[in-house]
Structure 1
Amino acid sequence: MGASVTSVFLYVKDVRRSLEFYNEVVGAEILQVHAEQENGPYSLAILRIEAFTVMLHAQEAHAEEFADTRLGVGIHLQLQVDDVDAFYQKCLDEGAMLSVSGEPADQEWGWREFALRDPDGFVWSVYQDKSEGQWTA
């Protein structure tokens, strides 16, 4: 039986703010945006990064489920890019340097990477694979 991971649901404080981060900084394509009422706050945004879908849901509607939980804790995501140094510079240029680890650094397994947090604290390792295929995520 084959299986593949296709998407992630992220519960966020402000869907519009997270949508802007993922679209403008990460480069995710906006597929859909939903609001419970016309001109109301966004309740859901669906974005795509290559074949992977990121669904941003408003946390407020699920407040009881998150009563004892901090957003962004317990999940670490990875984003592969062609040029990690250029992506890092884009983050700086966009004012989105929510860095966890500092500048990109070469790792012993052949990746050049850095980590950043999105507006809700979800950690992303942004990496460029320089291992010539020896390491796959």
Structure 2
Amino acid sequence: MTISLQYCHITVNDVDEALAFYRDALGLKSRNDVASGGFRWVTLGSDDQPDLEIVLSEPHAGRSQADGDALQELLTKGLLPMTVFRAGDLDATFEKLRASGAEVLQEPIDQPWGPRDCAFRDPSGNMVRISQDPKA
């Protein structure tokens, strides 16, 4: 049996603002941009993982008012799960994100549990960690 991750959703306050972080600074490529009912779902991906897609959407997109409100509250508090990316060159990726104006939470360091990584907040307050590809 084969199983793999197909989609990962990241909730953001403003899709265009998030694109400046995930597409322009982090380097993911836009694959799809779907509008419906006043909301957008933007799918991003990487050539390195052609089958994996990251979907950006706002808290109320495709949800009830109550569910969207609850998700918005968690997003505002910075309590949504973090996203972790792997980079071939952590230091270059860190510098590119820092130069974009992204909020730095942690500069690159060697973690006691193994990886070398760094951390940022995206424009909506989500924590994004980036670890060094162990093959690099």
Task: Give yes or no for TM over 0.5.
Answer: yes
Q: 2 CA distance for matches of 1:106 and 1:127?
A: 10
Aligned to 1:123: 127
Q: CA deviation at 1:76?
A: 1.8
Given that 1:113 and 1:127 are in contact with CA atoms closer than 8 Å, whether structure 2 keeps it comes out as: yes
Q: 1 CA distance for matches of 2:87 and 2:14?
A: 26
Given that 2:6 and 2:53 are in contact with CA atoms closer than 8 Å, whether structure 1 keeps it comes out as: yes
Aligned to 2:22: 22
SS at match of 1:4: coil
1:43 aligns with 2:40: yes
Q: 2 CA distance for matches of 1:84 and 1:106?
A: 11
Could you tell me which of 110, 114, 117 is aligned with 2:118? 114
Amino acid in the other structure paired with 1:43: R
Given that 2:9 and 2:56 are in contact with CA atoms closer than 8 Å, whether structure 1 keeps it comes out as: yes
Q: Structure 2 length normalisation: TM-score?
A: 0.79
Please give the root-mean-square deviation of Cα atoms over the aligned residues, in Å.
2.3
Amino acid in the other structure paired with 2:12: V
Q: State how many pairs are aligned.
A: 127
Per-residue CA deviation, residues 55-98 of structure 1 (Å, 9 max, x unaligned), is: 112223434213233115231221110111111111121112x2
Aligned to 1:65: 67
Q: Structure 1 length normalisation: TM-score?
A: 0.78
Q: CA deviation at 1:42?
A: 5.7
Q: 1 CA distance for matches of 2:10 and 2:98?
A: 24
Give structure 1 stretches of 5+ with no counterpart: none
Given that 2:82 and 2:128 are in contact with CA atoms closer than 8 Å, whether structure 1 keeps it comes out as: yes
Higher strand share: 2
Amino acid in the other structure paired with 1:88: F
Q: 1 CA distance for matches of 2:34 and 2:69?
A: 24
Give structure 2 stretches of 5+ with no counterpart: none
